[in-house]
């Protein structure tokens, strides 16, 4: 999958004009990239469009137009774009109530190591989590973890041929297994070479 460059980004002025339509496009796109894992967790699978939106919003918010600062943002977000043989996702633990969220994060230490995806006919794939920095502490986990799921060429071929995908969590305090909806499966298949 193509990485973002200066040439793939909108200028601040152009982005101000196209932002409402671009934002609507990204929101619609993201609907087919979210996999709920029970009531309080989800995987949000990233790609070039979701990352372009993140970069564009950061540039807008910070009023960045200097090439060096733009490159710094690209360097932060490009690693979250799949490389053709993997999926990259933001794993989020989601509780609306802050006290409930804090209690859950203390109970779910190590959850990032128990998340998985499985292509039908193959073993579970555990993610490589938080490559940029460790997001857990001895007394709690973080509410967001960045994950990379490395697939074998055979898994990629199976997904592209229509194989089902399951995802889940094996943590004792939040066990769950789900089948990835067809629309999300198709979006993930498009991420693969």
Q: Does 162 lie in the same domain as 193?
A: yes
Counting residues of the chain whose pLDDT is more than 90, the rounded percentage is 93
Mean pLDDT of the chain, nearest integer: 95
Q: Does 179 lie in the same domain as 90?
A: yes
Q: Does 122 lie in the same domain as 181?
A: yes
Q: Does 111 lie in the same domain as 150?
A: yes
Q: Does 94 lie in the same domain as 14?
A: no
For residues 164-169, average pLDDT: 98
34 contacts 116 by C-beta, under 8 angstroms: no
> With the CA atoms of 7, 10, 13 and 19 taken in that order, what torsion angle do they form, in degrees rounded to the nearest 10?
180
User: What is the C-alpha to C-alpha distance for residues 63 and 76, in angstroms, rounded to an integer?
Assistant: 17
For residues 43-64, average pLDDT: 97
Q: Does 115 lie in the same domain as 100?
A: yes
Rg (CA), the chain: 17
Q: Cα 44 to chain center, whole Å?
A: 4
pLDDT of 158 reads: 98
Range of the domain at 133: 39-45+83-193
Instruction: Read off the pLDDT of residues 111-141 as tens digits, 9 standing for 90 and up.
Output: 999 999 999 999 999 999 988 766 667 889 9
Domain of 161, CATH number, reads 2.60.40
Tokens standing for 159? 């997904």
pLDDT of 137 reads: 75
Q: Does 106 lie in the same domain as 18?
A: no
- 61 pLDDT tier (thresholds 50, 70, 90): very high
Q: Which residues neighbour 62 within 8 Å (Cβ) at sequence distance 6 or greater?
A: 69
Q: Does 192 lie in the same domain as 181?
A: yes
pTM higher than the cut 0.85: yes
Q: Does 191 lie in the same domain as 124?
A: yes
User: What is the C-alpha to C-alpha distance for residues 39 and 62, in angstroms, rounded to an integer?
Assistant: 34
pLDDT of 152 reads: 98
What are the residue ranges of helices labelled H in 33-181?
48-62, 67-77, 98-107, 153-160
- Counting the structural domains of the chain, the total is 2
């Amino acid at each position: 999958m193509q990485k973002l460059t200066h040439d793939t980004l909108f200028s601040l002025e152009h982005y101000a004009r196209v932002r409402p339509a671009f934002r609507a496009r990204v929101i619609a796109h993201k609907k087919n990239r979210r996999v709920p894992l029970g009531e309080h967790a989800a995987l949000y699978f990233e790609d070039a469009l979701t990352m372009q939106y993140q970069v564009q919003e950061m540039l807008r918010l910070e009023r960045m137009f200097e090439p060096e600062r733009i490159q710094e943002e690209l360097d932060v977000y490009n690693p979250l774009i799949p490389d053709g043989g993997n999926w990259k996702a933001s794993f989020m633990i989601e509780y609306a109530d802050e006290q409930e969220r804090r209690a859950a994060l203390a109970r779910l230490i190590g959850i990032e190591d128990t998340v998985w995806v499985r292509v039908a006919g193959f073993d579970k794939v555990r993610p490589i989590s938080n490559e940029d920095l460790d997001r857990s502490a001895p007394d709690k986990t973080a509410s967001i973890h960045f994950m990379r799921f490395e697939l074998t060429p055979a898994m990629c071929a199976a997904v592209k041929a229509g194989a089902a995908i399951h995802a889940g969590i094996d943590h004792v305090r939040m066990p769950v297994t789900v089948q990835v909806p067809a629309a999300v499966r198709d979006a993930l298949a498009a991420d693969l070479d």
